[in-house]
């Protein structure tokens, strides 16, 4: 004899799905937010490395900033500090992964820093 589902169980899958979908959307949004922040962090690190490389080769501070700005996230601040035999470049940016969609979430500050030895003969 086949087993029939109890009438009390009818619609339970629909109710469980209705509860689960918003939770899945929140988890997906959080994952996208984290990935966007990590991507901006990596862009800051890459921009700082490229700027430090240019500075170590003896490029002007304008060229160093332009190189770093080109690779950094929009609105990033680039600071190059020459030392005695090294140069340090820091890139800092404010990130809003969802832009104007979720203005209630605070902006995340990401940064990257790179130090390079100045090539001999350039100091």
Q: What pLDDT sits at residue 91?
A: 97
Structure confidence at residue 14 (pLDDT): 77
How much is the pLDDT for 78? 95
The whole-number mean pLDDT for each consecutive block of 10 residues of the chain, a chain of 123 residues, reads 63 78 88 89 96 92 93 93 90 83 79 92 63
Per-residue DSSP letter, 96: -
Strands 77-82 vs 86-95: parallel, antiparallel or unpaired: antiparallel
Global pTM value: 0.77
| Res 88: pLDDT | 94
What pLDDT does residue 76 have?
94
């Amino acid at each position: 004899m086949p087993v029939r589902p109890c009438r009390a169980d009818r619609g339970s899958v629909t109710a469980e799905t209705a509860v689960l979908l918003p939770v899945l959307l929140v988890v997906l949004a959080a994952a996208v937010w984290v990935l966007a922040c990590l991507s901006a962090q990596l862009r800051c690190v890459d921009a700082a490395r490229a700027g430090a490389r240019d500075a170590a080769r003896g490029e002007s501070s304008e060229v160093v900033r332009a190189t770093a700005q080109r690779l950094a996230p929009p609105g990033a601040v680039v600071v190059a500090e020459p030392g005695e035999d090294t140069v340090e470049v820091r890139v800092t940016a404010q990130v809003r992964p969802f832009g104007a969609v979720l203005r209630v979430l605070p902006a995340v500050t990401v940064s990257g820093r790179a130090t390079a030895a100045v090539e001999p003969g350039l100091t």
